[in-house]
Amino acid sequence: MGRITEIVTDFVNDQRHREALELMRAYAKSDDHLGNQIVLLSGQLNGANRDFDMGLTSNEERKRTVARIQHAMLGMLPELERIRKPNLEALEEFDAPKPDGDDGPAQEATAKKVLFLYASPANKGELRFSTEIRHIQNAFHKDPAFALETRGSVRPEEVLPLLREHKPQILHISSHSSISKGLLLEDQNRLEASLLPAHLADAVALAVRRGAPLELVLVNACNSRTHGEALKGVVPLAIGMDNFIPDEAAIEFTRAFYQSLAQEPNYEYAFEDAVLAVKLLRIEYDGQPAEKFPTLFKA
């Protein structure tokens, strides 16, 4: 049994299907055919969970769909083992820890939760969400004070239900964006669906009013400063990006932010550490250093 098969099988046995698909997609990035199949399965999984959450299907129907997806995932493993140029870095960065028995539920109950929402419409370039997620997982791997929940292919109308369901302390959104359209999430056909700053602020405000203990909203997307401004006063802290932020800088900001947060749970310190990490990359856009783009808004 190869390492990719071992880790994916562990994920599937633990019912961690999203993480298994993220790993498979990262590992097979050199194989477009396999990559497209994995993306299709990810969409089916998200659709099954979304339809169940919205009351459109029963739990039994959802379980049957997930079982079919799981069967297809395991059937792909021999093909993954035969890839000529696998992305071995994916195996180094991904970890598949087992639950810690009786300690798990107690830790989860007291942990601060990060809800990581991401979307990449089919008509836009692919973003490296799996890398961001791995960085957060690595930061929190040995820290029971934080827990991570992820949801991909997110639609604008799902933001409020997801906040109400998970009740996170931190909302992290990663996506493409447009100055005129706002955040570019996905519609039912995986094409772009916009989420304007005011609409995000409305969703967050309703979630807070209904019990979501939000302390911070981090919008890691180009030209998302206006989303941060709209959230000022809605949550204690918000972070948005001024101007276009290169993918490498956005990923490094995420890595350094959560690494700092795991070491010392102070959002403002984590922001400062992440800005410094981006500065050390020495990346510029339109003549401006990338570390100038992250912006912190306080209530």
pLDDT for 101 beyond 70 = no
What is the per-residue pLDDT for 22? 83
pLDDT for 100 beyond 50 = no
What is the per-residue pLDDT for 53? 63
- Percent of the chain whose pLDDT exceeds 70: 93
Q: What is the mean pLDDT of residues 15-43?
A: 84
Q: What is the mean pLDDT of residues 53-81?
A: 85
Predicted structure pTM score: 0.67
Among the residue ranges 10-14, 41-45, 177-181, the one predicted with the least confidence is 10-14
Q: What is the mean pLDDT of residues 119-136?
A: 84
Q: What is the distance of C-alpha 82 from the center of its chain? A: 29
Average pLDDT, the chain: 86
pLDDT for 234 beyond 80 = yes
> How far, in Å, CA of 207 to CA of 95, rounded?
32
> How far, in Å, CA of 64 to CA of 11, rounded?
18
What type of residue sits at position 280? L
Q: What is the mean pLDDT of residues 231-245?
A: 93
pLDDT for 102 beyond 60 = no
Higher pLDDT, 45 or 156: 156
Q: What is the mean pLDDT of residues 282-299?
A: 86
Q: What is the mean pLDDT of residues 286-298?
A: 87
Contact (CB, 8 A) for 140 and 262: yes
3-state secondary structure the chain: CCHHHHHHHHHHHCCCHHHHHHHHHHHCCCCHHHHHHHHHHHHHHHHHHHHHHCCCCCHHHHHHHHHHHHHHHHHHHHHHHCCCCCCHHHHHHCCCCCCCCCHHHHHHHHCEEEEEEECCCCCCCCCCHHHHHHHHHHHHCCCCCEEEEEECCCCHHHHHHHHHHHCCCEEEEECEEECCCEEEEECCCCCEEEECHHHHHHHHHHHHHCCCCCCEEEEECCCCHHHHHHHECCECEEEEECCCCCHHHHHHHHHHHHHHHHHCCCHHHHHHHHHHHHHHHCCEECCEEHHHCEEEEEC
> How far, in Å, CA of 70 to CA of 48, rounded?
13
> How far, in Å, CA of 28 to CA of 79, rounded?
10
pLDDT one-digit tens code per residue, 131-147 = 898 899 889 887 778 99
> How far, in Å, CA of 227 to CA of 247, rounded?
19
pLDDT for 109 beyond 70 = no
- Percent of the chain whose pLDDT exceeds 90: 46
What is the per-residue pLDDT for 54? 66
What is the per-residue pLDDT for 249? 92
Contact (CB, 8 A) for 38 and 76: yes
